[in-house]
Amino acid sequence: MAPRPPLRLRPHALRSAALSLLAVCATLAGLLLGAGAPPAAAAGSLPCDVYGAAGTPCVAAHSLVRALYSSYDGPLYQVRRASDGATRNIGPLTAGGYADAAAQDSFCSGTTCVITEIHDQSPRHNDLTVEGAGGAGAANVAAPADALPVTVGGHQVYGLEISAGMGYRDNTTSGVAVNGQAEGMYMVTSGTHVNGRCCFDYGNAETNNMDTGNGHMDAINFGTECWFAPCYGKGPWVQADLENGLFQSDAGYSRNTANTGTGPVPFVTALLKNNGQNHFALKYGNAQSGGLTTTYSGGEPTRSGYSPMHQEGAIVLGTGGDNSNGSIGSFFEGVMTSGIPTDAADDAVQANIVSAGYGGPTGTTGTLNPGSEISLRATTSCCTGDYVRHQNDAAVISPVTSGSSALDRNDATWIVRRGLADGSCVSFESRNYPGDFLRHFDFKLSRQPMDGTAQFRADATFCPQSGKNGSGTSFASYNYPTRYLRHYDYNVYIASDGGSNAWDSTASWAADVTWAVSSPWAP
């Protein structure tokens, strides 16, 4: 492509002398650890404790949901509210703990907030801010702060949900690998919020938001884009974005027929490590259970420019190195290390991620209070064993019993959230597709990822009322208040009592718009 003018970014504020000294000390500690046998990680160690004890200290540690060092008690991320432009840092409840999401809820009450900064917990202070324009995309916008509510470790927290046109970056980092230096990285993401556009990345990128050539990136990519055929299965795949290609092997295409992708797993650990000279490896795991699977471990790409690598040391999240920003994705936590972590350290980190309790039960069930998990049962005489579920994205009703498959029971379970457009109403988040909500479009209901727009917020908000048939609950559409959630011909709509559409039929309308709020089918 023809060269484009370089991006002009506002320089970071100068580091304080104290922080600089801390960074130097951390570097020396890492060198000392690498010189001898690394000490064992202490019990209860968090990911950066594990990597530091193994001689490969974190040079970046980003998370919206929890601390990544057992002693960390600083800010995790910053939100800005729409009402007055004020900002607030959100930190952990305790040192080494989970995010104080209640502080965000309180600060953003009655308005909306976006995420303006993701703080680096490492001594390097490689904080991520909203990414500016680049060679392949216009300047990004900040992600909505409430788009990805999730339970982690029994705590209600928020992840980062990226839609097209959103991304974060730091072009002036400290300690990140450059010019063929070794590094490792992982992120916890989701297999349920992906697409095939470029590029949902986390990792090392160019410092000018431009494509500067082969080997100038070293970042994890997660999505369904198959850059080099063949790719096996439907994905999404953990790939290495090494610039000008998403690599599953040294040949680019997959050499591993068993690597068909993670599938729609709600929480995924994606891992890349690269010695910068002649070897890189890719791994993935279910962030809720089990260990890691290595999908590739071998030489650098055989094309020119990748051996050695030419990393520039910027950090990108949510876009490609040249700000290719058509992708979508979810981000909960991620780190980058100095040097290649051992497999044993990777395994210990995966064990810690599993122990963190991603996607666990909210702790309350069967009510319309925010955070409660429920199922919605039809009350019309024809269909009292049918529940609202998502199927191929559409909202339908179908029978669900204790003998139903785990997938069916999960699809019929919803988490009650404060109304996205009005906190006195409710929104329904999918139990097994974090960040996806019931939303009406052309009067029909479906499961869709929250994009932060006012239109989505309104379409996904429903106001409970006494059931129209004298029992149970009816749900009025927030932006079409004379229309209620109704099942008709096994699909779910917002329907009025009489009208030109088939689903507005007056026959059995009162029963069809009345629901029993019941205990959830998912465990």
Q: Output the DSSP codes for 168-199.
A: EEESS-SS---TT--EEEEEEE-TTS--SSS-
Q: Is 27 a domain residue? A: no
pTM equals 0.91
Q: Is 352 a domain residue? A: yes
Q: What is the CATH number of the domain that holds 482?
A: 2.80.10.50
Percent of the chain with pLDDT over 90: 91
Task: For residue range 436-484, list pLDDT tens digits in order.
Answer: 999 999 999 999 999 999 999 999 999 999 999 999 999 999 999 999 9
For the chain, how many structural domains are there in total? 2
Question: What are the backbone dihedrals phi and psi of residue 373, each rounded to the nearest 5 degrees, phi first?
Answer: -95, 135
Please give the average per-residue pLDDT across 273-282, as a whole number.
98
**Residue 214 lies in domain:** 48-67+131-356
DSSP structure class, residue 37: P
Residues 6+ apart with CB under 8 A from 50: 41, 345, 348, 349, 352
Q: How confident is the model at residue 41 (pLDDT cuts 50, 70, 90)?
A: very low
Q: How confident is the model at residue 1 (pLDDT cuts 50, 70, 90)?
A: very low
DSSP structure class, residue 290: S
Please give the average per-residue pLDDT across 162-175, as a whole number.
98
Q: Of the listed 49, 241, 322, 411, which one is catalytic?
A: 322
pLDDT of 468: 98
Residues 325 and 397 in one domain: no
Q: What is the CATH number of the domain that holds 278?
A: 2.60.120.200
Q: Is 200 a domain residue? A: yes
3-state SS, residue 323: coil
Q: Of the listed 131, 243, 373, 408, which one is catalytic?
A: 243
Averaged pLDDT of the chain: 92
Q: Are 464 and 484 in contact (CB under 8 A)?
A: no
Residues 457 and 341 in one domain: no
Burial class of residue 305 in the structure, from the number of CB atoms within 10 Å of its CB (0-12 exposed, 13-18 middle, 19+ buried) = middle
Residues 210 and 247 in one domain: yes
Residue 322: active-site member:
yes
Q: Is 442 a domain residue? A: yes
Residues 323 and 177 in one domain: yes
Q: Is 109 a domain residue? A: no
Residue 206: active-site member:
no
Of 301, 325, 356, the position where a domain reaches its end is: 356
